[in-house]
Amino acid sequence: MMNKKLLMLAATLALIYGGQVTADDDAASRGEAVFDDCAICHGDDAQGGEDFGAPKLAGQLDWYLIRQLKNFRGEIRGTQEGDEFGPVMQPMAADLDDQAIEDVVAYIMTLDATVVADED
């Protein structure tokens, strides 16, 4: 009985944490270069940009960011009528391959989620 509980716990933890990106130095370094384009709207510290409707990225879960970038790339997001800001994001993600997406998310994971956006 105990072995079955441990197996279930291990399987649950694998599902929760197994899909997360490991922010190794190389991936984060490559991702920093990719993020230069993102910073125009999302800010240097990924705190979001109200003027562009760009949400805060720092502090988000890695799997969520990966999913959303792939949704924009695949035109699942950013092409719907009435989406005010998505059409700006969709072409930005369109040129990112899976490796670039993982790299930029690895970089975002290194950013401090507690930094407050500049109020210019």
> Which residue range forms the structural domain that includes residue 67?
22-108
Domain assignment present for 65? yes
Q: What is the mean pLDDT of residues 5-34?
A: 65
Domain assignment present for 86? yes
Ranges 29-33, 42-46, 56-60, 82-86: which has the least confidence: 82-86
CATH of the domain at 51: 1.10.760.10
Q: Which residues contact 28 (CB under 8 A, 6 or more apart)?
A: 103, 106, 107, 109, 110
Domain assignment present for 13? no
pLDDT at 7 over 60: no
| Total domains present in the chain | 1
The whole model's pTM is what?
A: 0.75
Domain assignment present for 2? no
Residue 61 burial (CB count, 10 A): 13
